[in-house]
Amino acid sequence: MLSQKNIDIIKSTAPILETHGVAITTYFYKTMFEAHPELLNIFNHANQSQGRQQTALANTVYAAAKYIDQLEVLLPAVKQIAHKHRSLAIKPEHYPIVGEYLLKAIKGVLGDAATDEVIGAWEEAYHVIAQVFINVEKEMYEEAEQQKNGWKDFKEFYIEKKVEESAVITSFYLKAKDGTPAPSYLPGQYITIRTAIPGEEFLVNRQYSLSQAPGSDKLRISVKREADRDPQGKVSNFLHNQLKEGDTLEVSAPAGDFYLEKGPQPVALIAGGVGVTPMMAMLGSIAENEPDRKTVFIQAARNKEGHAFGIEAAEKISQLSDGKLYVAYEEKKNESDVCDVTGYISKDFLQEVIDSNSICYICGPVPFMRAVMRHLTELGFTEQNVKYEFFGPAIALQS
């Protein structure tokens, strides 16, 4: 239990952390990775180079300072992060390492402002917050292991089949090497794959959404080849270009707090680019379990070449008594390309096609999600009726 004195000290540092948070977390990652390079490949290098990981952690540290006396306010964010930690096999022994380098970063960036009293208060606060994570994650590890066909940490799967879904997205069907069926999961959740890549000293981890409804004897992930950005996607290119059917990967049990909720309310699934992957699991689940549920499926792609799952999505929609499918292309390469929207999805379009009582699920690139969120907010959708998933560290969608 934190003393009132230390609570007051922590809360007094919140404005400083809001200003210097990214500098602190940048310092933190640099020094921690220098001392513990074995932790580097747990993280996505592109997110590190783009600063998303640093920004996400800075936001978390700032929120912890602001609500240190109301930690229950942080519980939804804690659970979201804890899902990712469990999927990556983060364990209690990692927390002292993080704490050591986070305190060093606060001291290194703030200098004289980080007095012994301030550092002492943050050390005590960190132990309290870390224990919250450890307790939540312990329950998640037990749940993953105890569920039917579940397991602890990682398990070997092999690639049964590779299927090209578009010019940039390929699906990988994964089956357990021990012959056991795939575990159940909630449509929208993800797994972590762990693999060795030539030239990398340590195993590399990446998280990918499960892209088909639960209930199969195999797991399906659908991976976009990240070849048009710097740095390129190290793992996605390795999966596309080098792994073949029969090759083995280590896989975590499914995790994640973004998933389809059953119920009578209409649902709108709004996907941009590779953000379609969790939506395919949701759409498949609706087709199998709730075929009378009013459903709108909106898929945005750069162009026809980048449009994945077109036939599969149409088949699933055809199984619904009240389902509608809409496709948006940012550009048409040929006049013969058929879509419902050319350019960006507008507020007027969303108002026209989505029932105002719908629960909306959104996944895609950050600019896409930010625009859709703005439109839905302006149309009167509440926070409770809009759910979204980040591929990577969470950042603010609205200011």
- Which residues are known binding-site members? 85, 190, 206-209, 273-278, 390-393
Q: Which residue has the tokens 């048409």?
A: 332
79, amino acid identity:
K
169-176, strands of its sheet edge to edge: 204-209, 190-195, 248-252, 154-164, 169-176, 219-224
What is the distance between the alpha carbons of residues 155 and 177, in angstroms, rounded to a whole number?
A: 8
Is 340 buried (19+), middle (13-18) or exposed (0-12) by CB count in 10 A? middle
Q: Which helix (H) or strand (E) covers residue 148, if one does?
A: none
Nearest to 33 by CA among 110, 97, 82: 97
Examine the residue annotation and report whether 305 is marked as an active-site residue of this protein.
no
| Three-state secondary structure call for residue 29 | helix
DSSP bridge partners of 28: none
Q: Which helix (H) or strand (E) covers residue 323, if one does?
A: strand 323-329
Q: Please answer whether residues 269 and 282 qualify as being in contact, where contact means their C-beta atoms are separated by less than 8 angstroms.
A: yes
What is the distance between the alpha carbons of residues 67 and 293, in angstroms, rounded to a whole number?
A: 39
- φ and ψ at 383, to 5 degrees? -60, -35
**Residue positions in the annotated binding site for FAD?**
190, 206-209, 390-393
246, amino acid identity:
G
Tell me: cis bond preceding 92? Omega within 30 of 0 counts: no
Examine the residue annotation and report whether 185 is marked as an active-site residue of this protein.
no
- Hey, what are 265's tokens? 């309310």
Helix orientation angle between 4-12 and 14-35, rounded to the nearest 10 degrees: 90
Nearest to 189 by CA among 217, 210, 216, 219: 210
Is 309 buried (19+), middle (13-18) or exposed (0-12) by CB count in 10 A? buried
The one catalytic residue among 124, 137, 165, 330: 137
Q: What is the set of active-site residues?
A: 95, 137
